[in-house]
Structure 1
Amino acid sequence: MAGSEAGALRRDALGTPGVVFLVLAAVAPLTGIIVVASLGIALGDGGGMPGAFLLAAVILVLFGVGYAQMSKVVVGAGGFYGYVTRGLGRPLGLVAALVALLGYNCFVAGAVGTSGFFTANVVEQVFGWHTPWPLWSLVSAVAVFALGRRGVDVSAKVLGVSLVLEVSILLVLDVAIAVRTGLDVHAFHPGVVFSGSAGIAFLFAFNAFVGFEATGLFSEEARDPHRTISRATYAAIVLIGVFAAVTTWAVVSATGVEQAGAAARDHLSAGDLVFSISGTYLGPVLTDVMMLLLVVSLFAALLALHNSATRYLFALGRARVLPAVLGRTNPGNGAPYVASGTQILFATAIAAAYALAGLDPLADLTASMTGIGTLGIITLQAMAGIAVVAFFRRRRDPRLWRTAVAPALGGLGLIAVTTLAILNFPTLAGSDAPAIALLPWLLAVALVAGLALAAWLRRRRPDVYAGLADLDG
């Protein structure tokens, strides 16, 4: 089915692999290992980081059990906004929508800056050309907008190629370390996994999964969504967890499990722990290839996160909570082109404001935007976990494990991670700046604004308020 001006996304555009590619690209495995895992090793539990990834995966699989059941009931582009609306009511659904807008749009703004900075840095290191980071940020934004207008199936193909390339180079590194040094099982000993700042380690481990929840956002565009979304969710969580754990296991084995924390801290300022290990095990040529693939990985993450943020804008525009023009789609391919253009323009404007102010793209732009983006999305996951249990308990669903016990355990785990993220926000954001420490208060602003918006709609625009429960477009 083609899209229309009325707001129909393209049906049957994605199979399970397409949804998985979109989700895994947002997670950006190469970026996750080079940046997130290295931070977890340095600031968390050192050589126990592989175990932290596995425990995070277990909690998210428990959450995914309920999420999979909910995806068979709610099919719509609103993702967790739809789940929370069905489970906890329209007011909290609007709160979830605003938290989603805050999280995803900030994440994309940070990704625009991160992509530009690392692209300029890698181009200089590999080719010796000095170029300004805002130039590459602009190029990335324009490319994302162009691909966004082509339709989600085109994005899925581009992201699939990127994913294969970045995973391949890391698997080569894993094998090289396993053959030359071996993989030290001591990394999974409880005394190692729960050593040091284990809470920080788990926080970064969950950070590496941010983006998996986007499976539900593409349900309207998926073939047989009642089966595709649940399969894609399980596949995404398991693949992320196993891949991150194995690759991090190889990294800490290369440094020595007991010495991993100190080694990562020595490379913390340059952010080159993985590159230094690659130089030893793969040589300079493949290390240069890894650097270039980091650029590809960052662009893929930007594109995938943009697709997710766009669908929240689209869903709220179609519901007339935001301007209805955001709910328009391209008649030919069903792409939500107005929401797409609006989203990338907003993200680029934020990055441009930081650049014009002379602020650092990593210490300022990425730290603030990615930090609050991560916190927002983890909070959204926790809200959805509560909503899933509430929804099925009201229905008195007899499948207690699938609809109550497993999702409740996963939800409790996510609430604990959200609390960790708020208490350790400067560490998560990578900055001790006082202004950044205040950013979690934006969640309180979203709560108040969402409840106020719900009250206003119920009083002034009752038709729009009533339609919030109609999530399937």
Structure 2
Amino acid sequence: MTNTEAGHSRLAHNSLGVPGVVFLVLAAVAPLTGIVVVAAIGIALGNGAGMVGAFVLVTIALLLFAVGYARMSKEVVSAGGFYAYTVKGLGRPTGVAAGYVALLGYNFFVAGAVGTSGFFMQTIIATLTGWNVPWLVWGVVSVVAAFLLSRQGIDFSSKVLGVSLVLEVSILLVFDFSVLFTTGFSFGVFAPTVVFSGAVGVALLFAANAFVGFEATGLFSEEAKNPLRTIPRATYTAIIFIGVFAAFTTWAIVSATGAAQAQSVAQKHLATGDLVFSLSEKYLGPVLTDLMMVLLLVSLFAALMALHNSATRYLFSLGRAGILPRRLSRTRKNGFPQFASLVQFAFATLVAAIFAVAGLDPIASLVPSMTGFGTLAILFLQLLAAIAIVVFFRRRRDKAVLSSFVAPSLGAIGLAAIVILAIVNFPVLAGSDAPAIALLPVLLPVALIAGFIAAAVIKRRDPEKYARLADDIERITIESEVESEVEAPRSPEPQKELP
């Protein structure tokens, strides 16, 4: 590869510090959207006031996973994220299969985000101004704006998303402390009889759903400053922030409704989805409630932009590895993978347009099907990565047993339980019991099988290309190790050849 070609397949190195990576992943998590939608549903359909404890339990499980994830991020620096981790831990065929799952999950999620952003823009703007524009038009406006902003480079994107994150978190904190100083918080929500009451499995599932997006820290490792330190710190920061913030705000919500009747009150608002807004009217007044509605639009746009950045980096990485067309790895001078971005947004917009032309309601069809399956796929991807991390360090006979085996194994067990809950309760997760939506989890084994077949075909037709599948992972990792200011030289033990 010539220098010119290499320059067009290189992301913007040394662009993001810990805050930048955290902004990118927390924007994908969309705290305001997570509280207004996810937490409210968890309270209504799960364990009521015990939803606070559900967030705490999921935070603990993900922190255990993060111990191994942080260790692995020091071994692998790649925009391929969990695809790269799985290649290193479980071999090339499983890695390609993981890449296919990632493509499905993130691309479906962005398609759902187009529908969510378009629907709420139509609804809220019509409510506040009387100007009623079809949701697909607003969805396309969001896509174009997100593309133009992302095109300015990842550093610019992180700053835009950072501003939106501060705004949406601030309005919720104002609400939280208003409840705290006016009504007070109920400590009974932490009683085991409350936490493990009702449909606790559903509560844990929706609590885990509120974290989807944190795993993207590794996707930005090639663009991070000193990634061997930045990515672990950003991962811990993101998980702790999401867990503490979600638990604290949910605590405010159930305390405002009254812990004993939190579930029944949430169920009454389930159809309209306005539990948080109704409480905001009481504690913040109509002006700040209108502001919260506007900031919900900001939150949804930020989530669309952040999820798109994650999906684009999987397309970029798989294109660079030769699994997908190599043109997907072409970048602008500022490191922006423009062609991959165009392909990703074109897919998401096309899916949304198909639903719109068919006359299907976005909230009843597009959003639940796309985001429901996207959530399941990303949770499954996290599980694959957790297993790969454990296998990778066991194969090396790593002596730090607690951080390389015990903690990540416990995290993997927790993720396995959440994935099982997601499959069993998929109609609840997707918000629809339509037969077509209930069958979507079948796409997971289809993606896995397709990935294994693709790896086998590459190995048979082009053995050299198959052998090079992990080359970009190794090359970028070594370059990052050289660039990073590591206090002591690394002396990795010999590893077995990847299958």
Q: TM-score range by the shorter chain?
A: over 0.9
Partner of 1:230: 232
Partner of 1:184: 186
1:158 aligns with 2:197: no
Amino acid at match of 2:51: M
1:412 aligns with 2:413: yes
Distance 1:5 1:394 in 2: 35
Distance 1:204 1:464 in 2: 41
Amino acid at match of 1:389: V
Distance 1:29 1:405 in 2: 30
Please say if residues 51 and 187 of structure 1, whose CA atoms lie closer than 8 Å, have aligned partners that are also in contact.
yes
What RMSD over aligned residues (CA atoms) do the two structures have, in Å? 1.1
Partner of 2:483: none
Number of paired residues? 472
- The farther-off stretch of 69-78 and 1-10 is 1-10
Distance 1:4 1:145 in 2: 24
Matched position secondary structure for 2:259: coil
In the TM superposition, residue 18 of structure 1 has moved relative to its aligned partner by 0.1
Partner of 1:34: 36
Q: Out of 270, 273, 292, which is 1:290 matched to?
A: 292
Partner of 1:172: 174
Matched position secondary structure for 1:30: helix
Distance 1:211 1:466 in 2: 31
Partner of 1:453: 454
Listed one character per residue, the Cα deviations across residues 48-101 of structure 1 (whole Å, up to 9, x for unaligned) are 101100100000000000000000000010000000110000010011000000
Please say if residues 170 and 247 of structure 1, whose CA atoms lie closer than 8 Å, have aligned partners that are also in contact.
yes
Distance 2:461 2:7 in 1: 26
Partner of 2:319: 317
Partner of 1:198: 200
Partner of 2:50: 48
Amino acid at match of 2:444: L
Partner of 1:344: 345
In the TM superposition, residue 258 of structure 1 has moved relative to its aligned partner by 1.0
Amino acid at match of 2:368: A
What are the equivalent positions in structure 2 for 1:73-84 lying under 5 Å apart?
A: 73-84=75-86
1:355 aligns with 2:356: yes
Matched position secondary structure for 2:260: coil
In the TM superposition, residue 288 of structure 1 has moved relative to its aligned partner by 0.1
1:334 aligns with 2:335: yes
Distance 1:396 1:157 in 2: 41
In the TM superposition, residue 3 of structure 1 has moved relative to its aligned partner by 9.7
Distance 2:407 2:281 in 1: 43
What are the equivalent positions in structure 2 for 1:84-123 lying under 5 Å apart?
A: 84-123=86-125
Please say if residues 322 and 469 of structure 2, whose CA atoms lie closer than 8 Å, have aligned partners that are also in contact.
no
Distance 1:291 1:431 in 2: 25
Partner of 1:144: 146
Amino acid at match of 1:463: E
Distance 1:127 1:49 in 2: 35
* TM-score with structure 1 setting the length: 0.99
Partner of 1:439: 440
Listed one character per residue, the Cα deviations across residues 399-452 of structure 1 (whole Å, up to 9, x for unaligned) are 011100000000110011001100110000000000000000000101110110
Matched position secondary structure for 2:194: helix
Please say if residues 89 and 391 of structure 2, whose CA atoms lie closer than 8 Å, have aligned partners that are also in contact.
yes
Structure 1 runs of 4+ aligned residues shifted over 3 Å read 1-6
In the TM superposition, residue 6 of structure 1 has moved relative to its aligned partner by 3.8
Please say if residues 2 and 9 of structure 1, whose CA atoms lie closer than 8 Å, have aligned partners that are also in contact.
no
In the TM superposition, residue 145 of structure 1 has moved relative to its aligned partner by 1.1
Distance 1:8 1:207 in 2: 32
Residues 3 and 290 from structure 1, CA distance in 2 versus in 1: closer, same or farther, beyond 3 angstroms?
Answer: farther
Partner of 2:128: 126
Distance 1:359 1:181 in 2: 42
Residues 186 and 2 from structure 1, CA distance in 2 versus in 1: closer, same or farther, beyond 3 angstroms?
Answer: farther
Distance 1:346 1:450 in 2: 20
Please say if residues 3 and 9 of structure 1, whose CA atoms lie closer than 8 Å, have aligned partners that are also in contact.
no
Distance 1:380 1:428 in 2: 17
Distance 2:289 2:41 in 1: 20
Amino acid at match of 2:294: L
In the TM superposition, residue 115 of structure 1 has moved relative to its aligned partner by 0.2
Please say if residues 47 and 187 of structure 1, whose CA atoms lie closer than 8 Å, have aligned partners that are also in contact.
yes
In the TM superposition, residue 5 of structure 1 has moved relative to its aligned partner by 5.0
Partner of 2:389: 388
Listed one character per residue, the Cα deviations across residues 1-53 of structure 1 (whole Å, up to 9, x for unaligned) are 99965411011010000000000000000000000000000000001101100
Partner of 1:252: 254
* TM-score with structure 2 setting the length: 0.94
Partner of 1:422: 423
Residues 53 and 3 from structure 1, CA distance in 2 versus in 1: closer, same or farther, beyond 3 angstroms?
Answer: farther
- Which runs of 5 or more structure 2 residues have no equivalent in the other structure? 477-499
Amino acid at match of 2:148: A
Distance 2:4 2:433 in 1: 49
